[in-house]
Structure 1
């Protein structure tokens, strides 16, 4: 994603002073959020803007919660969103951004109505401010009049390199696994998330041809065809397979994530305490 990262950073930090809207567009698993995050955290972007803030919309969202999250990042003050009217957050967010060069990243916008509900809150003071959002839907990017960056599928060679990087920490593969690794990468049909999920499964198996061929056979049985196109299948299929390969004691820990709302930021320390309360893991003082 180096080329895409550079192009987006150039658009964010250069050009006219007018408020500019950019979008990263692509199907599930192409790496939209990963790309947006790398841009957001880039040093040149960090020093260019007076303020930066990030929020995630998702398919189901609460506007007041989003506004509260953005305001917390900009004015560094915690608000109790359920006790304050939504208009309060809208007005304060607008005033906090006015006259400042800001970057707002809005991750995972599903429909144009979500954007329409938010766009009036962002002032255009000819200060060089930018808004970057990610979406799976091209029509959302078009209707928002954004400069769109559609993400492409990876080539088979890039899928191989990503698979090797995940499994061997380098872009090369042991000779005895070279052919089977290319075979597996080919099943992913250019979808990075599919590569990463399969790599996660392979990490739990022995690094030999027989074990990896067994994973391939399992994939074929799961989908009933050798012409697998992960871009058109639910990622749930691969997640199911990943779940099957988890040790039994870890399965309830994984399923517990279902108690959190989509795209929630989860505190590791809080999660550990919840797992302990549920009896999934033992407290550290017991030597586990």
Structure 2
């Protein structure tokens, strides 16, 4: 997913003194979602040749890049590659006979890794566990200084507060259709029904605070606001966040999702067919536990067949 540290890790490798000592040429290009072949070639050429490249033709730029790498041991970083087409557009620029050379790709798409033939050489970036999160927090807060014992207890409390107690509320977006604009009233009622909110008198106020916190963290996008501009009326999540929510929901079986579709093959019967059922899990704080006694429930969409 975006922001998990792929570019940061690649940058640590790329700027390591041993790497620059080992390779004759090191070059870096940012590919991005809407890739521009000319800009990719120019970025690589600026790293390999330096100075201003006054050339507009892509074929000439590709030829110049290939010549600049010929006979040299090179390291090329292609950062943030979204589509295999971007790789296909530039791969012939890299001489394959140069022994000891390497190309490092970062991507959010596992299909890209498969298409470029690096699936068995790929590193899947994962989330940090509790200890890793604490060590990162400690290293940033205290740099290279030793952590005083009296600060460790309060430091761990602060680190725990950084964890998103809103996990269940965010993952709940995975049950809505992709790119859908969700009425906030429906979203909050669903949160309340699922029991995600603390048992307080003002459940709606708590729900509004949770939603605002997700917005403040740039996890949820505001679509519409009330006329006075104070209340959020509808919202949605970015495609990347939606994919994350959907994968976590499916992987953890946090909610039951029954896909109900009308069978219109028989005009008289018009039966509803059930496709999927997953075991329901309860979300309590940061822990997700199975419901006892084999309890099941379903989120059933309503279809109206004319």
TM-score, normalising length: structure 1 = 0.55
Map of 1:31 onto structure 2? 5
Residues 192-215 of structure 1: per-residue CA shift (max 9 Å, x gap): xxxxxxxxxxxxxxxxxxxxxxxx
1:236 equivalent to 2:218? Answer yes
**Partners in 2 of 1:93 and 1:123 — Cα distance?**
10
Map of 2:54 onto structure 1? 80
**Partners in 2 of 1:171 and 1:188 — Cα distance?**
29
**Structure 1 residue 121 displacement after superposition:** 1.1
**Partners in 1 of 2:15 and 2:92 — Cα distance?**
26
1:125 corresponds to which of 80, 83, 97: 97
CA contact (8 A) 1:161 1:172 kept: no
Larger radius of gyration: 2
1:268-279 paired onto structure 2 within 5 Å: none
Map of 1:141 onto structure 2? 113
**Partners in 1 of 2:100 and 2:146 — Cα distance?**
39
Give the match's secondary structure for 1:107: strand
Aligned-residue CA RMSD in angstroms? 3.4
Unpaired segments ≥5 residues, structure 2: 168-204, 223-306
Greater helix percent: which structure?
1
1:41-190 paired onto structure 2 within 5 Å: 41-81=15-55, 84-146=56-118, 147-169=121-143, 172=147, 174-175=151-152, 177-187=154-164
**Partners in 2 of 1:129 and 1:234 — Cα distance?**
44
Map of 2:297 onto structure 1? none
1:221 corresponds to which of 176, 201, 209: 209
**Structure 1 residue 166 displacement after superposition:** 2.6
Q: Higher RCO, 1 or 2 (CA under 8 Å, sep at least 6)?
A: 1
Residues 219 and 184 of structure 1: CA distance in aligned 2, closer, same or farther (over 3 Å): farther
**Structure 1 residue 120 displacement after superposition:** 1.2
TM-score, normalising length: structure 2 = 0.52
Greater strand percent: which structure?
2
Residues 239 and 172 of structure 1: CA distance in aligned 2, closer, same or farther (over 3 Å): farther
CA contact (8 A) 2:134 2:156 kept: no
1:40 equivalent to 2:31? Answer no
Residues 147-171 of structure 1: per-residue CA shift (max 9 Å, x gap): 2111121011211222233334358
| Structure 1 runs of 4+ with >6 Å offset | 217-220
CA contact (8 A) 1:164 1:171 kept: no
Give the match's secondary structure for 1:55: strand
CA contact (8 A) 2:72 2:98 kept: no
**Structure 1 residue 116 displacement after superposition:** 1.1
**Structure 1 residue 101 displacement after superposition:** 0.8
Residues 54 and 239 of structure 1: CA distance in aligned 2, closer, same or farther (over 3 Å): farther
Residues 78-127 of structure 1: per-residue CA shift (max 9 Å, x gap): 1135xx21111001101111111111001000011111111111111142
